[in-house]
A and B are shown apart, each in its own frame.
Chain A
Amino acid sequence: MLRMRPSVRRDLRNGLLFISPWLVGLIVFTIYPILASFYFSFTDYSVLKSPRWVGLENYVHLFTNDALFPKSLTNTLYYAAIALPLGIVGSVALALLLNKKITGMSIYRTIFYLPNIVPAVAMSVLWIWLLNPNYGLFNSILKGLGLPGIPWLTSPTWSKPSLILMGLWGIGGSMVIYLAGLQDIPDHLYEAADLDGANSWQKTRNVTLPMLTPTIFFNLIMSLVGVFSYFTQAFIMTNGGPIDSTLFYMLYLYRNAFIYFKMGYASAMAWILFVIVVSLTLVVFRSSGRWVYYGGSSN
């Protein structure tokens, strides 16, 4: 900084000036909040009174004395464990179907993508009506087929599957990403497979899917963060019920922070979530060497 050529100093000054909007944000809206929430997580903080240091009490209480915390965690993991794989399989399958240079491809693509731009609240209101146990579209169809209706959101067994089903309506977003990935696969790979006499299943299995794994990997990483943020639909449609069966992690965190004003307690939850998301991401990264194909290069 002291002994710099004038041109270097000028570039440094200009560079910092240009990134200054983000730099201010980094300090005010990222670094400070991260440190502050870490500190708050060791305090009893009700907003009205200033934070009081309580050591590990929040964490101990979460793990030993609060039945809703493990409940919200398992609800979220249940949702993630089913919704993520189903979403990947569904959107990859749709993308494969659409990748066949089929006429009307853009119309199908539009139909599949459209649910994805529906705001979460609007989607929730619509699906409450679709899933209405007496007059909803779904049960009307089931009854029309002579099948018994399903209690959907009103039953603790069916509430999470209902939300997962609704989530699947939005797989068109990932589908578009996979479709782009599919179109990037070079033709000569398929031509080589043709020469080897591969049938279309073998080509899908041995060319398409391996070439798509980097896209799947990226999508999985992004979805992991997303799934732990799952909030709006559960808040609007069931508000955690019935019998806490849809009390997801973020919903419980929201209640603690903004309904009960237990900011310290909620901060502890946020940090536990942070650790979980980072570890899961690392696990996925670690495992990627075994299933993600990087076009022949070692990394």
Chain B
Amino acid sequence: MAAPATSETVRPGRPRQRSLREMLTGKKAMRRLDHALSHLALIAFGLAFFLPFYWLVSTSVKPNTELFLLPPKWIPSQFVWENYPRAWNYLPFATFFKNTLYIAGFNVVATIISCTLTAYGFSRIRWPGRDTLFMVLIATIMIPYQVTLIPTFLIFKWVGWLGTFNPLTWPAFTGSAFYIFLLRQFYMTIPLELSEAAKMDGASELRVFAQVMLPLTRPAMATVALFTFLSNWQDFLGPLIYLSREDQYTISLGLRGFLNRFGANWELLMAGTTITVLPIVILFFFTQRTFIQGVTLTGIKG
């Protein structure tokens, strides 16, 4: 700038020079300060939230001798990657993974089939009694599962399904009220003319469902699939009650067995924990958009 600038010089077309006082109290400055403080707070909280993950992974690659040091060793002197194969082989983790994948996969497929069909019946066809039954469906969302837990267990005992995967898989074919509700909300937004036109051409309801509705509501199905998978991956009480032999264990049950048996081998326990957490963290990063949208839409936290 050529001319000596004072705070009072006003040049056309250029921003007015601002005094220090203005810079500290002006609106923009306030916003900048506000942002800086927010960043500071976010960094502090972010570090606090991230720290347990850091501790998880760093412990998992520590040599056993560095677990019990004070002050703690933040970065291991050497990275003992062998902790991972050791943890993996201590217990049949491969079997646990296979079992969990089977249960979660079965649930995803069965839930999608049952919930889309039911949601269609509740939204695209008009029939007497529909809205009353839909209120019943909404009401069932509020029922705590404890109330139905014991008789449900006894049903599976009577049919001889205890100690099998069946109680954890087949019920998914009867749908889940929350996902039905969610899908129905989506189906309601699709103009009725679309299905009417197809019906005029002689298409059956099932055909309209499969060829008009399903292709139009893929994002909603992705959300339901993702959350079904996640909740089955995380489930503990179900497998705890229904499974008994170790070769049937899910990852969560297996990890608990690991804890009970090798409670002091923290480096192996953390390696095992990392192994159980890693797949869903990877899944999360690949599907983040669907994830966040799903949380936003359903109000369930995942």
A interface vs B, CB < 8 Å?
8, 11-12, 14-19, 21-26, 28-30, 32-34, 36-37, 40, 47, 94, 97-98, 100, 102, 108-122, 125-130, 134-135, 137, 140, 143-144, 169-170, 172-174, 176-177, 180, 200, 218-219, 222, 225, 228-229, 231-232, 235-236, 250, 253-254, 257-258, 263, 266-267, 269-271, 273-274, 277-278, 281
Distance A37 CA – B45 CA, assembled complex (angstroms):
45
Q: Is the CB of B49 within 8 A of A115?
A: yes
When distances are taken between beta carbons in the complex, the residues of chain A under 8 Å from B56 are 126
Distance A108 CA – B56 CA, assembled complex (angstroms):
19
CB contact under 8 A between A144 and B35, given known A18-B118, A273-B144: no
Q: Is the interface of B mostly helix, strand, loop or mixed?
A: helix
Q: Is the CB of B175 within 8 A of A277?
A: no
Q: Is the CB of B259 within 8 A of A22?
A: no
Q: Is the CB of A19 within 8 A of B296?
A: no
Q: Is the CB of A19 within 8 A of B122?
A: yes
Whether B101 sits at the interface, judged by CB under 8 Å, is: no
CB contact under 8 A between A173 and B301, given known A15-B121, A117-B230, A120-B236: yes
When distances are taken between beta carbons in the complex, the residues of chain A under 8 Å from B286 are none
Interface size class of B (residues with CB under 8 A): 35 or more
When distances are taken between beta carbons in the complex, the residues of chain B under 8 Å from A19 are 117-118, 121-122, 133
Q: Is the CB of B127 within 8 A of A14?
A: yes
Could you say which of A37, A173, A250 has the most chain B C-beta atoms within 10 Å of its C-beta? A37
When distances are taken between beta carbons in the complex, the residues of chain A under 8 Å from B145 are 229
When distances are taken between beta carbons in the complex, the residues of chain B under 8 Å from A126 are 52, 55-56, 270, 273
CB contact under 8 A between A100 and B35, given known A11-B126, A21-B173, A119-B234: yes
Q: Which candidate, B11-19, B152-160, B189-197, is the interface stretch facing chain A? A: B152-160
When distances are taken between beta carbons in the complex, the residues of chain A under 8 Å from B53 are 114-115
Could you say which of A134, A176, A258 has the most chain B C-beta atoms within 10 Å of its C-beta? A176
Q: Is the CB of B277 within 8 A of A118?
A: yes
Q: Which of these, A34, A115, A128, A254, contacts B147 with CB under 8 Å? A: A34
* Contact mask for chain B residues 223-258; partner A; CB cutoff 8 A; 1 contact, 0 none: 000000010011011000100000000011101101
Q: Which candidate, B1-9, B65-73, B78-86, B214-222, is the interface stretch facing chain A? A: B65-73
A282 to B: closest C-beta gap in Å: 11
Q: Is the CB of B180 within 8 A of A22?
A: yes
When distances are taken between beta carbons in the complex, the residues of chain A under 8 Å from B137 are 22, 26
